[in-house]
Amino acid sequence: MFDNAAMLVEKNVPLQPFNTFHIVAKAHALVRIHDESDVRALLADPKWAGKSKFVLGGGSNIVLTGNVKPLVLKVEVMGCRLVRETPKFFIVEAGAGENWHDFVRWTLEAGYPGLENMALIPGTVGASPVQNIGAYGVELQDRFDSLDAIDLQTGRLFTLNAAQCAFGYRDSVFKHASAPDAEAGHQALGLKHRALILRVRFALPKPWKAVLGYADIDKKMAEQGVSQPSAQQLFDWVCAIRRAKLPDPDVIGNVGSFFKNPTVTPEQCVDIIAREPKLVHYLLADGSFKLAAGWLIDACGWRGKSVGQAGVYDKQALVLVNRGSVDGSDAATGGEVMTLARAIQTSVYERFGIRLETEPDIL
Ligand code: EPU
């Protein structure tokens, strides 16, 4: 019996509205989490305590390849507030279930700028640290303060700072399962399927300073003759840039970039450029080079191609899309999406010798 009467386990729940690819699949069982007491109530019930669990945020970074057997915990923890102000930062907090873009807009309206370069990224606040989301020169880790999460095995509440989240490029401790680390001879800490993020706090620097230097933003500045944009202008530009080249998941199902931009050594980069002079590459601080996966896929001729109802977006080859409806049975299947993804990986490997890694979680 649950001691929280408001909590309900729903059975055979259609997940098409809860994943931004809008793939048709069902959760065998789903429970909505409004706060930590819902998790504790669940763990206190012997029927659910030991069952495997899957934490669902905005569904913007998952590919469903079938019905979901683990108990789905749909995070609906809400609320946005200023926690405190220090001489150098505004510390603001949002519930994990808040929509990311609405939260970014709220911070600007409330006078706490700093997240504007990450406007319009689909998903929830709770999913943002999992992926260490980023766009136009700012990554979540640059604005992160701390987060509260609950351990799904013990029900213990804990707080992590940035170092403890082990952020990397589209990576964090939440993407790795706990596993023995042979080299270190101990258990490497991973929190995949173990932690449910409840609230995230951001440190927004005072005074605010625009993050510029990204080609698309520079273009907007030149077009509009603005050399020192405000946070609101940057927000508007980022929204316009994203709307022009990325599909709106409410209209065309997608999960944003489907692959990570790969990193190569200077030698590999020189070798590829000798064969492919137009290769899009960026020098990183450690001397390695990041390549534009979208360019690699595009160069292999994939833009606009399809497998069944799964397709490669015609304005940005790094984005795979659902060419079927977002609310009907003719949607792309997870199988079609993955067949297309594997075919792209094979052709990029054959032409460039580079293995593209998928960005979303394949379930
Ligand atoms: N390009 C092509 N053809 C394509 C796609 C891209 O030639 O079909 C070229 C572009 O012309 C450009 C380069 O590739 O020279 C890079 O493209 P873009 O600026 O669109 O950025 P990206 O590297 O493809 C990354 C992030 C995006 C983020 C943008 C802007 C990853 C995996 N993706 O994309 O993040 O919005 O930069 O900062 O790092 C996401 O993660 O879901 C996401 C959308």
Exposure class string for 60-97: b at 16+ Cβ within 10 A, else e = bbbbbeeebeebbbbbbbeebeeeeeeeebbbbbbbbb
Q: Is the Cβ atom of 239 under 6 angstroms away from ligand 1?
A: no
Task: Give the domain ranges of the chain.
Answer: 10-75, 80-244, 247-362
Taking Cα atoms as reference points, which of 348, 339, 273, 266 lies closest to residue 308?
A: 339
For the entire predicted model, the pTM comes to 0.93
CA of 220 to the centre of ligand 1 (A): 17
Residue with tokens 């079609």: 336
Look up residue 198 and give its DSSP letter: E
Atom 7 in ligand 1: which residue has the minimum CA distance?
Answer: 295
133 CA: nearest ligand 1 atom: 41
247's tokens: 């599909």
148's tokens: 């509260």
Question: Which residues, including other chains, have CB under 8 Å from residue 348's CB and lie 6 or more apart?
Answer: 293, 296, 297, 300, 354, 355, 356
- The Cα–Cα gap between 164 and 142 comes to 14
Predicted local confidence at residue 295, as pLDDT: 98
User: Which helix or strand (DSSP H or E) is residue 128 part of?
Assistant: helix 128-131
Choose the CATH number for 10-75 among 3.40.50.720, 2.60.120.620, 3.40.605.10, 3.30.43.10.
3.30.43.10
CA of 318 to the centre of ligand 1 (A): 7
36's tokens: 């930590």
> How many helices and strands, by DSSP H and E, does the chain display?
10, 22
- The Cα–Cα gap between 297 and 60 comes to 22
CATH number given to 80-244: 3.30.465.10
Look up residue 206 and give its DSSP letter: S
**38 and 152 Cβ atoms separated by less than 8 Å:** no
Predicted local confidence at residue 178, as pLDDT: 80
- The Cα–Cα gap between 24 and 326 comes to 9
Given CA atoms 283, 286, 291, 292 in this order, what sign does their dihedral have?
negative
User: Which helix or strand (DSSP H or E) is residue 134 part of?
Assistant: strand 134-135
Give the catalytic positions in this structure.
170, 257, 359
CA of 265 to the centre of ligand 1 (A): 20
- The Cα–Cα gap between 319 and 246 comes to 8
Q: Largest Cα–Cα distance in the chain? A: 67
226's tokens: 């603005």
245 CA: nearest ligand 1 atom: 20
Predicted local confidence at residue 182, as pLDDT: 56
Q: Is the Cβ atom of 261 under 6 angstroms away from ligand 1?
A: yes
Each residue's pLDDT, cut to its tens digit, for the chain (363 residues) gives 444 444 689 999 999 999 999 999 999 999 999 999 999 999 999 999 889 999 999 999 999 999 999 999 999 999 999 999 999 999 999 999 999 999 999 999 999 999 999 999 999 999 999 999 999 999 999 999 999 999 999 999 999 999 999 999 999 999 998 876 556 555 567 899 899 999 999 999 999 999 999 999 999 999 999 999 999 999 999 999 999 999 999 999 999 999 999 999 999 999 999 999 999 999 999 999 999 999 999 999 999 999 999 999 999 999 999 999 999 899 999 999 999 999 999 999 999 999 999 999 999
Choose the CATH number for 247-362 among 1.20.1730.10, 3.90.1170.50, 3.90.78.10, 1.10.10.10.
3.90.78.10
